[in-house]
């Protein structure tokens, strides 16, 4: 896709323009994304005032993944569910914060799309005023037109089936980055607070093919296997010819780390480790974190791997399954994958 839409158009116009090129478009998808954008604006407003009002701190509840739930996570989750359940385009939802499928109440009409989301990513950074985000992923259900309860098997689809994916980043500005896949490219919009509109600010984002930045929680070094250690040692080693050592950047909010690497180039990794025997395959969730960012990075010319193959090819078996993640600049991720597969020794 060539750049042609011009900087400054609204996200709504952009979605409409993209849908116009699709003969099957019914407007359902546009409605869906528009409502999600409204939810994100509400979350953005609350995030911005998080330091001002008494919304900080733990609710004392533990989420389905045994992590501390911050109040803003609960709020963001509720807002998305409430706003999205009534629009008539979804057959169900999946949230990082809910153990099971979120059904659409029977009083609302249903549609053929499934929305998966991480309502607030990077929640440990909420109370320190560091960037956080919302990640989303949209699929079409396998059997359309049915009003019945959605079986889990319809939702457990590989990432390559996503019809759209992206994220909202609540940073120094609020941004939305999204793709509808199939070569439509990745586009970024910045929220102009005084207008209340997302305007096109980053058209057709391309990630540099190779970079000099790595992002990883290196505090886990001693829990890694030898291949992972060798890979990170390689990034840190001195070698003028290949531009090493790389620079290290780690925010601790996946969305923020990913976004920086998307624009500037770099590799983010959250490998598996032996820190927690209950999480042998790493920390990040396939369906609500890895898959959507994998589609975005692919559309931007990058690559996402679990260390064995493409993230987008993984056939999920559980809603909340976790995966190792290597994502970012293509050449760097390909090298990481070759090392993890034992094809390349560093």
Answer with the entry of Mn ion, ligand AHG, none that 310 interacts with (C-beta below 5 to 8 A by kind).
Answer: none
| 3-class secondary-structure state, position 103 | strand
Please report how close the Cβ of residue 187 comes to ligand AHG at its closest, in angstroms: 23
304 Cβ contact list (under 8 Å, min separation 6): 290, 293, 294, 297, 298, 310, 311, 312, 325, 326, 327, 328, 333
Q: Which of the stretches 112-120, 224-232, 290-298, 337-345 binds Mn ion when contact is defined by CB under 5 A?
A: 112-120
Answer with the entry of ligand AHG, Mn ion, none that 252 interacts with (C-beta below 5 to 8 A by kind).
Answer: ligand AHG
276 or 313, CB closer to ligand AHG? 276
Based on the shown chain and the rule CB under 5 A, indicate whether residue 121 belongs to the binding site for Mn ion: yes
Render the burial of 209-228: b for 16+ CB within 10 Å, e for the rest: ebbbbbbbeeebeeebeebb
Phi, psi of 57 (to 5 degrees): 100, 170
Return residues touching ligand AHG (CB under 6 A): 67, 96, 118, 121-123, 217, 252-254, 283
Q: How far apart are CA 113 and CA 332, in angstroms?
A: 34
Q: How far apart are CA 200 and CA 137, in angstroms?
A: 20
Please report how close the Cβ of residue 21 comes to ligand AHG at its closest, in angstroms: 34
Within 77-96, the residues that bind Mn ion by CB under 5 A are 96
Helices 11-20 & 28-48, crossing angle to 10 degrees?
160
**Which among 207, 114, 116, 210 has a CA at the least distance from the CA of 167?**
116
111 or 122, CB closer to ligand AHG? 122
118 or 203, CB closer to Mn ion? 118
Please report how close the Cβ of residue 65 comes to Mn ion at its closest, in angstroms: 9
- DSSP letter, residue 105: P
Quickly count: other Cβ atoms within 10 Å of residue 339's Cβ. Answer: 19
Based on the shown chain and the rule CB under 5 A, indicate whether residue 118 belongs to the binding site for Mn ion: yes
Answer with the entry of ligand AHG, Mn ion, none that 253 interacts with (C-beta below 5 to 8 A by kind).
Answer: ligand AHG
Please report how close the Cβ of residue 120 comes to ligand AHG at its closest, in angstroms: 6
Based on the shown chain and the rule CB under 5 A, indicate whether residue 257 belongs to the binding site for Mn ion: no
Answer with the entry of ligand AHG, Mn ion, none that 340 interacts with (C-beta below 5 to 8 A by kind).
Answer: none
Please report how close the Cβ of residue 254 comes to ligand AHG at its closest, in angstroms: 3
Helices 254-264 & 291-299, crossing angle to 10 degrees?
10
45 or 68, CB closer to Mn ion? 68
The site for Mn ion (CB under 5 A) is made up of: 96, 118, 120-121
């Amino acid at each position: 896709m060539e750049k042609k839409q011009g900087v400054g158009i609204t996200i709504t116009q952009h979605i409409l323009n993209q849908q116009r090129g699709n003969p099957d478009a019914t407007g359902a998808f546009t409605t869906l994304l528009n409502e999600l954008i409204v939810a994100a604006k509400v979350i953005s407003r609350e995030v911005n005032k998080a330091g001002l009002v008494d919304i900080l701190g733990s609710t004392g509840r533990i989420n389905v993944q045994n992590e501390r739930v911050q109040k803003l996570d609960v709020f963001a989750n509720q807002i998305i569910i409430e706003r999205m359940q009534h629009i008539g385009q979804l057959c169900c939802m999946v949230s990082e914060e809910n153990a099971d499928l979120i059904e659409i109440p029977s009083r609302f009409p249903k549609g053929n799309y499934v929305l998966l989301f991480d309502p607030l990513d990077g929640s440990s950074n909420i109370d320190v005023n560091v960037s956080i985000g919302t990640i989303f992923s949209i699929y079409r259900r396998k059997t359309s037109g049915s009003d019945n309860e959605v079986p889990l098997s319809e939702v457990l689809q590989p990432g390559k089936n996503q019809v759209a994916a992206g994220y909202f980043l609540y940073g120094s500005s609020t941004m939305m980055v999204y793709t509808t896949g199939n070569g439509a490219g990745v586009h970024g919009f910045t929220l102009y607070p005084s207008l209340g509109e997302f305007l096109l600010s980053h058209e057709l984002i391309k990630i540099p093919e190779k970079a000099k930045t790595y992002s990883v929680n290196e505090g886990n070094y001693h829990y890694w296997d030898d291949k992972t250690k060798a890979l990170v040692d390689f990034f840190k080693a001195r070698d003028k010819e290949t531009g090493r050592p790389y620079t290290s950047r780690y925010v601790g909010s996946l969305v923020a780390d990913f976004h920086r690497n998307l624009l500037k180039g770099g590799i983010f990794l959250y490998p598996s480790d032996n820190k927690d025997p209950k999480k042998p395959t790493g920390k990040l969730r396939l369906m609500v974190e890895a898959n959507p960012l994998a589609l975005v990075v692919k559309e931007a010319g990058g690559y996402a791997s679990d260390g064995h193959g493409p993230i987008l090819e993984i056939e999920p078996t559980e809603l909340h399954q976790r995966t190792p993640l290597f994502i970012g600049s293509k050449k760097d991720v390909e090298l990481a994958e070759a090392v993890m597969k034992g094809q390349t020794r560093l």
